[in-house]
Amino acid sequence: MTLADLRERIRRREALLGVVGLGYVGLPVAVVFAEAGFDVLGMDIDADRVAKINAGVSPIEGQEPGLAEILAQVVRTGRLRATTEYDALRDRDVVIVAVHTPVDEEKVPRYDALKTALIHLGPVLKNGTLVIVESTIAPRTTEELIRPLLEQSSGKRANEGFHLGHCPERVTPGRLLHNLRAMSRVVGGLTPETTETMADLYRHVVQVDLDLTDCLTAELVKTVENAYRDVQIAFANEVSLICEAVGGDVWRVRELVNKVPARNMHLPGAGVGGHCIPKDPWLLAYSVRDKEVPLRLIPAARAVNDSMPLHVADITVGALREAGVGIAGANVAVLGYAYLENSDDTRNSPSEALVARLQELGACIRVHDTYVPEYRGDLWQIVEGCDALVVMVAHDAYRTLDLRMLRARVARPILIDGRHVFSAEQARAAGWIYRGIGQG
């Protein structure tokens, strides 16, 4: 099959699609293409996940508008099926790869999942298949790792036996389908014709701009946009530390700073989590590991953001001390374990770092999270008799809590607010001793 044939099949929605990795990215991608009328086969090594999807049930637990309903519908109509077998991808014209790409303790990319996927995908690629990697990867990875690995595993040459491109994702939990449709995408193929073919495909689901470019630019754009965000959040976090120390209020300061044109101070908070922001700056940094580029800002931003949960631990210890309570043996209730409001995603959760530090100091910890199955207990029982309450995630369910009723359940009215869920005035009026990020 030539690229021209493939473009025609894509235009008619007759191209058979495969999606490898059905997580926060791959599942909604599979769903929107199936909804657009394509025959989609999802592949994942997680058999439970595959079984759930085939039963028309979304394995993602947080608030995801539209996902569960459309998934059920496309499974019912047979447009989407899932499998654990790479072999089932043999007839696919396009295969999108969306497996996770973390970094290790040394901040080096761990491409094990990606490599495994490519090693198994190669042998089942039919002639002329278009492979699109949506996973976030360090700049140069398409050329230096993915292309040679796929050539080796398939026994075919890129741009002849198969075509290859990178189209990084811009979804975020809570807005998976919305971002897929309403956010512009950067599309980069090994050749301009491959890029055009990829664009033909994404035009079926993306309702806004597609920016056509090459693989390296696509890799750079994705990792830069997340490194940018990390640096901006780190700045806001550092300002919040300054405000705490001098007796200011970072929320008011931010509001007034942002009145100046071209200022966009981000939100400070109890830490940066998730699969992407904490590691994508390291993927960007990795691209220059063998070059003389003195990186200072990106590592500094990472260090600032990683320190925030520990700072929340310090605030907790300080507030308890002022109330005459030692941290060892104190009962601390933590509200929120996901990394993001209204999500069930706990990867790189700032709460994990907070809990580890408080436990190290001898505190007895109870955790609640509205969306994380492990911590979905009764919130009122969890806060009962606690010496301090720490809010780490701004789930809607916490924003609407009655602070007076909550006050009546705890042993000591110490409230540490890591996400500015409550105002200091509101909390104090309800009888709480309030400590918030960025409020001196």
Ligand X SMILES: NC(=O)c1ccc[n+]([C@@H]2O[C@H](COP(=O)([O-])OP(=O)(O)OC[C@H]3O[C@@H](n4cnc5c(N)ncnc54)[C@H](O)[C@@H]3O)[C@@H](O)[C@H]2O)c1
Any idea which residues carry the catalytic annotation? 222, 276
Scanning residues 164 to 193, which ones bind ligand X (CB under 6 A)? 169, 171-173
Instruction: State residue 316 phi and psi, 5-degree precision.
Output: -65, -45
Q: Which of 17, 30, 49, 350 binds ligand X (CB under 6 A)?
A: 49
Q: Between residues 21 and 413, which has the closer beta carbon with respect to ligand X?
A: 21
- 26 is a contact residue toward ligand X (CB under 6 A): yes
Total residues interacting with ligand X, rule: CB under 6 A: 27
Distance CA 135, CA 165 (A): 11
Q: Which of 15, 22, 332, 430 binds ligand X (CB under 6 A)?
A: 22
Q: Closest distance between ligand X and the C-beta of residue 61, in Å?
A: 12
Across the strands, what pairs with 364? 331
Q: Between residues 168 and 436, which has the closer beta carbon with respect to ligand X?
A: 168
Q: Which of 6, 276, 320, 414 binds ligand X (CB under 6 A)?
A: 276
Tokens 């520990």 appear where? 310
Q: Closest distance between ligand X and the C-beta of residue 170, in Å?
A: 6
Q: Between residues 298 and 411, which has the closer beta carbon with respect to ligand X?
A: 298
Instruction: Tell me which stretch binds ligand X (CB under 6 A): 45-53, 200-208, 290-298, 387-395.
Output: 45-53
Distance CA 425, CA 437 (A): 15
Strands 414-417 and 388-391, how do they pair? Answer: parallel
Scanning residues 127 to 166, which ones bind ligand X (CB under 6 A)? 135-136
Contact (Cβ atoms closer than 8 angstroms) between residue 438 and residue 421: no
User: Residues with Cβ < 8 Å from 157, sequence gap 6 or more?
Assistant: 151
Q: Which of 1, 9, 36, 45 binds ligand X (CB under 6 A)?
A: 45
Q: Between residues 265 and 276, which has the closer beta carbon with respect to ligand X?
A: 276
Residue 381 sits at the vertex; the CA angle it makes with 413 and 64, to the nearest 5 degrees, is: 100
Distance CA 352, CA 338 (A): 9
Strands 331-335 and 364-368, how do they pair? Answer: parallel
Distance CA 41, CA 198 (A): 18
Residue nearest to ligand X (CB): 23
Q: Closest distance between ligand X and the C-beta of residue 422, in Å?
A: 27
- The DSSP code sequence of 369-384 is -SS-GGG-S-HHHHHT
Q: Closest distance between ligand X and the C-beta of residue 58, in Å?
A: 12
Start-end of H helices in 215-341: 215-246, 250-257, 280-286, 297-322
Q: Between residues 8 and 225, which has the closer beta carbon with respect to ligand X?
A: 225
Q: Closest distance between ligand X and the C-beta of residue 329, in Å?
A: 37
Q: Closest distance between ligand X and the C-beta of residue 4, in Å?
A: 30
Q: Which two tokens stand for residue 332?
A: 């601390």
Instruction: Tell me which stretch binds ligand X (CB under 6 A): 44-52, 315-323, 382-390, 401-409.
Output: 44-52
Type and span of the H or E element at 436: strand 433-436
Q: Between residues 283 and 390, which has the closer beta carbon with respect to ligand X?
A: 283
Task: Convert residues 83-122 into a mask of x (bound to ligand X by CB under 6 A) and - (unbound).
Answer: ---------------xxxx-----------x--xx-----
Question: What is the b/e burial string over 320-358, where b = at least 16 CB atoms within 10 angstroms of the residue's CB?
Answer: beeeebebeebbbbbbbbbbbbbbbbbbbbbbbbbbebb
Distance CA 83, CA 20 (A): 10
Q: Closest distance between ligand X and the C-beta of residue 40, in Å?
A: 15
Q: Which of 46, 69, 238, 384 binds ligand X (CB under 6 A)?
A: 46
Distance CA 236, CA 326 (A): 30
296 C-beta neighbours (distance < 10 Å), count: 7
Scanning residues 303 to 332, which ones bind ligand X (CB under 6 A)? none
- 273 is a contact residue toward ligand X (CB under 6 A): no
Q: Between residues 117 and 414, which has the closer beta carbon with respect to ligand X?
A: 117
Look at residues 250, 374, 358, 232 and name the one whose alpha carbon lies nearest to residue 305: 232
Q: Footprint of ligand X on this chain (CB under 6 A)? A: 20-26, 43-46, 49, 98-101, 113, 116-117, 135-136, 169, 171-173, 275-276
